[in-house]
Every structure is written in structure tokens, then in C-alpha cells.
């Protein structure tokens, strides 16, 4: 689950991580009021969408307007807000259609001496969270990682202990941070690592992280993604979800207990088990196709869930064929076959359907499909299924 920058900064503030003052505005007048209330000589108006690259992004309806702009008057703040609100911001992460801006964040300016980068993720190979910092703040960190990976410094930390002072000193020395700024970094980095652990974050990123002219380390940006599996422990954070920023089909799938991620391809996949779903996507690509989604119906999928899954898959106008790939373990192949037959009557298949069944009660499941009036392309084995669905999609 993702949240907006202004929401992340409220969490930072509550955890003692230094941030600047700011206010959310949903129309030009509110942006003007926010600038006046902040009281500084400068402020920054930022589009609030769940995508990075806002500073270089452009508004479809106002091509001269970027997603982040420094303003020096209340009228200027109102102008930028008016250009952004209700329009679509296109960034490197939104796709060409862009994302509608429904709110902006008006934030105080500050005297920036240095721009850095900070990120925290889980390093699954080390089974530990890892803090990453770089002197290349404000840039695309993916580009830095590709072209100059030596400029990204890493420190793993034990979630039960937290980041330790010697680790902060090590990072500061490598980035030429000393004196008061190093003491500020010690406070900042320890608290933000603790926040990452306490809130079950999947990713936490500050880019740019700045050191001010007064040698204070401050989060100028904030990007936080949470582990969905831990949301039951954070009811207050779950309430921060902005449905307007979510893919509608993913929300619909989640309401039915389905694990679904929409992709840009044209071959829909209905699979049980996350590992099998990933393998299915890989082999489709291997044979020249492009998956339209990740969909795990789970081990205990019932007829209603499978029917809803088909409704979601077939509602995508880009889908040219569907591959059902089921390994019957807890879920019997007869249950899936029954669900496919029922779904064909309730939903109606308007594209080719390739079905590969293996596992518990597979023979009976195959017999049910063969004796039904559902038009199906049967497959034996994963490779056979992938080849047939790619061919059926006309790729």
C-alpha cells in the first residue's frame, strides 16, 4: 500500500524525523491561504500523486507546468495549484496517460546546502533491512545504480537493535559529512530506520534528503510503501489509503480475496499460487507473449472467486487470450473445472481460453471440461500451455 508525500511526512514528524512545515490544498484559494500561513519568502507547490519523477513531469493540459514548482508569492502558489489540480501529470512512472492531480502540498522552502539520497528496503538475501545513502541526491537513483553503483553506500541493520552510531559515522565519513551535520544525521538516520521497522514498511525513500545551511538534515521528499500483509497491525495507516490513486481492477480483486496486479500485456493469467503465477508469466514472455496481469486465486479458490476473476480479466480490452494454469493441491481440479464452466455461463468468454490442469482429481476435472459446452484449448504441461496461449493471442 502506498501513501502520499504529505501523509508520509506526518508519520515522519510523529516519529521525530525532521521535515518542513506544509499544508494540503485542494483548490487555488487553499493554496494561496497555505502560502500565507506558512509565512516564508518562498514555498514549493507539489502535486500529490502515487508516482515518482514529479519534478520533471509535465501536465498534459498545461505542458509548461511541472509537478513541483518553487513559488515566491501567494498568487504564484494559487497559479501553480490551478495548473495542477484536476489535470493529469505525466511522469516516468505514470505512463503516457498520466495521473489526475486531486491535491497539492504547499511546503515551506529552506536553505539547501547539499542534496543527498536515502532509501530503506528489505534485503531478502541478507534477511535484514538495508539503509542506502548516496551523495547523488535529487537524481534518478536507478540511473546512479546502473552507471555509478559505487556512489550508493549500504548498511544493513538488525531490526531488533536498529541502526547503530558507528554505522552512521561510517556513512557520514564516506559522504564527507562532519560536525553538527553528522550529529543531525545520527538522529535522522536512526529514527527513520526505526520508523521503517515499526510501521512494517516495504520501501522508504527520501530523495532529496537535504542538509541545510544550518547543518540540519531534513527530509525534503518522502515516499513510503507498506507491506500489505502487515496492514492488520496498522489500522490507522490502512485508513490513509487513497482509492483514487489505486488501479480499480486491483481494488475489485482485493475485495474478493484475490491477489491481482494489472500489467500492460495482452495475455491474461488465472493461476493458483504466487510462485506458479510468476513462472507462468515468465514462460509466456519466454515464448514471445506479454502477460496482462499477475493473478493468484489462492489454494482455496471457490466458484464465486473464479467467476469474479474472469470478470476482471475479461473487462480488460487489451486481453486477447486467457491462460488458466492450475496445480490442484488444496484446491481440486474438479472445483476449478466446475468454476470455469460456471464462469463461462455467467461471464461469457469472448477470447480464446487455454486451460492446463494438473494435480488432485485432474482426470475428472479434464473430463468435466471436455464434456461441457465451453470452448477450451486444452494444454498438457506448462510449455504446451504457454505456446498455445501465445498462438491463440495472435502474437
Interval 69-115: pLDDT, tens:
999 999 999 999 999 999 999 998 888 889 999 999 999 999 999 99
Name the pLDDT band for 275 (thresholds 50, 70, 90). very high
Name the pLDDT band for 313 (thresholds 50, 70, 90). very high
pLDDT of residue 127: 96
Domain boundary among 108, 123, 149: 108
Percent pLDDT > 90 in the chain is: 76
Q: Rounded CA gap, 126 and 206, in Å?
A: 23
Same domain for 143 and 54, yes or no, is no
Same domain for 62 and 118, yes or no, is no
pLDDT of residue 23: 97
H-helix or E-strand containing 344? Answer: helix 333-346
Is 329 a known ligand-binding residue?
A: yes
Query: Which is more confidently placed, 254 or 395?
Result: 254
Is 320 a known ligand-binding residue?
A: no
Same domain for 181 and 296, yes or no, is no
pLDDT of residue 140: 78
Same domain for 119 and 190, yes or no, is yes
1 lies in some domain: no
- Across the range 310-323, mean pLDDT stands at 93
Same domain for 123 and 102, yes or no, is no
Same domain for 213 and 254, yes or no, is no
pLDDT of residue 79: 97
pLDDT of residue 330: 76
Domain boundary among 92, 108, 124: 108
6 lies in some domain: no
Same domain for 255 and 213, yes or no, is no
- Of the ranges 60-69, 165-174, 331-340, which one carries the lowest mean pLDDT score? 331-340
Side-by-side strand order, sheet with 293-296: 259-262, 293-296, 267-271, 321-328, 353-359, 377-379
- Of the ranges 10-19, 157-166, 276-285, 334-343, which one carries the lowest mean pLDDT score? 334-343
Is 331 a known ligand-binding residue?
A: yes
14 lies in some domain: no
pLDDT of residue 31: 98
- Across the range 135-143, mean pLDDT stands at 83
Is 110 a known ligand-binding residue?
A: yes
Name the pLDDT band for 312 (thresholds 50, 70, 90). very high
Is 3 a known ligand-binding residue?
A: no
Same domain for 217 and 235, yes or no, is yes
Same domain for 117 and 192, yes or no, is yes
Q: How many domains does the chain have?
A: 3
169 lies in some domain: yes
Residue 97 falls in the annotated catalytic set: no
Scored b (16 or more CB within 10 A) or e, 170-197 reads: ebbeebebeeebbbbbbebbbbbbbbbb
Catalytic residue, from 6, 35, 117, 196: name it: 117
3-state secondary structure of 61: coil
pLDDT of residue 349: 86
Q: Residue 58 forms beta bridges with which residues?
A: 66, 90
Residue 205 falls in the annotated catalytic set: yes
Catalytic residue, from 30, 69, 205, 308: name it: 205
pLDDT at position 138 over 80: no
Domain at 97, CATH number: 3.30.1490.20
**Best CA proximity match to 127, nearest among 157, 168, 149, 154:** 157
Domain boundary among 87, 108, 129: 108
pLDDT at position 139 over 80: no
Chain centroid to Cα 21, Å, comes to 26
Name the pLDDT band for 133 (thresholds 50, 70, 90). very high
| Mean pLDDT, the chain, whole residue set | 93
pLDDT of residue 299: 73
Q: Which domain holds residue 217?
A: 112-239
Amino acid at each position: 500500500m502506498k501513501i502520499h508525500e504529505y501523509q508520509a511526512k506526518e508519520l515522519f514528524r510523529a516519529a521525530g524525523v525532521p521535515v518542513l512545515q506544509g499544508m494540503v490544498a485542494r483548490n487555488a484559494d487553499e493554496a494561496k491561504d497555505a502560502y500565507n500561513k506558512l509565512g516564508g519568502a518562498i514555498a514549493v507547490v507539489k502535486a500529490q500523486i502515487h508516482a515518482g519523477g514529479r519534478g520533471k513531469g509535465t501536465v498534459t493540459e498545461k505542458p509548461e507546468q511541472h509537478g513541483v514548482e518553487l513559488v515566491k508569492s501567494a498568487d504564484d502558489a494559487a497559479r501553480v495549484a490551478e495548473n495542477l489540480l484536476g489535470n493529469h501529470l505525466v511522469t516516468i512512472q505514470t505512463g503516457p496517460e498520466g495521473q489526475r492531480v486531486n491535491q497539492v502540498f504547499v511546503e515551506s522552502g529552506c536553505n539547501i546546502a547539499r542534496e543527498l539520497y536515502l532509501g530503506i528496503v528489505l534485503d531478502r538475501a541478507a534477511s535484514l533491512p538495508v539503509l542506502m545513502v548516496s551523495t547523488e541526491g535529487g537524481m534518478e537513483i536507478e540511473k546512479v545504480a546502473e552507471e555509478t553503483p559505487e556512489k550508493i553506500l549500504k548498511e544493513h541493520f538488525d531490526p531488533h537493535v536498529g541502526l547503530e552510531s558507528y554505522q552512521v559515522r561510517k556513512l557520514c565519513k564516506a559522504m564527507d559529512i562532519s560536525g553538527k551535520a553528522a550529529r543531525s544525521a545520527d538522529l535522522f538516520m536512526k529514527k527513520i530506520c526505526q520508523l521503517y521497522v515499526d510501521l512494517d514498511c516495504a520501501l522508504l525513500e527520501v530523495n532529496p534528503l537535504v542538509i541545510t545551511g544550518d547543518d540540519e538534515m531534513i527530509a525534503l521528499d518522502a515516499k513510503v510503501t507498506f507491506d500489505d500483509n502487515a496492514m492488520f497491525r496498522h489500522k490507522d495507516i490502512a485508513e490513509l489509503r487513497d482509492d483514487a490513486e489505486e488501479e480499480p481492477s486491483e481494488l475489485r480483486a482485493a475485495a474478493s480475496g484475490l491477489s491481482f496486479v494489472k500489467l500492460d500485456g495482452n495475455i491474461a493469467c488465472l493461476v493458483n499460487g504466487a510462485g506458479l503465477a510468476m513462472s507462468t508469466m515468465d514462460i509466456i514472455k519466454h515464448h514471445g507473449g506479454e502477460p496482462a496481469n499477475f493473478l493468484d486465486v489462492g489454494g482455496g479458490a471457490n466458484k464465486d472467486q473464479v467467476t469474479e476473476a474472469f470478470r476482471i480479466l475479461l473487462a480488460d480490452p487489451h486481453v486477447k487470450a486467457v491462460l488458466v494454469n492450475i496445480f490442484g493441491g488444496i484446491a481440486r481440479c474438479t472445483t476449478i473445472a466446475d468454476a470455469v464452466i460456471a464462469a463461462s455461463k455467467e461471464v461469457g468468454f469472448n477470447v480464446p481460453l487455454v486451460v492446463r490442469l494438473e494435480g488432485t482429481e485432474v482426470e475428472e476435472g479434464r473430463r468435466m471440461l471436455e464434456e461441457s459446452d465451453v470452448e477450451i484449448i486444452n494444454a498438457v504441461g506448462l510449455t504446451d500451455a504457454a505456446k498455445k496461449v501465445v498462438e491463440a493471442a495472435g502474437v
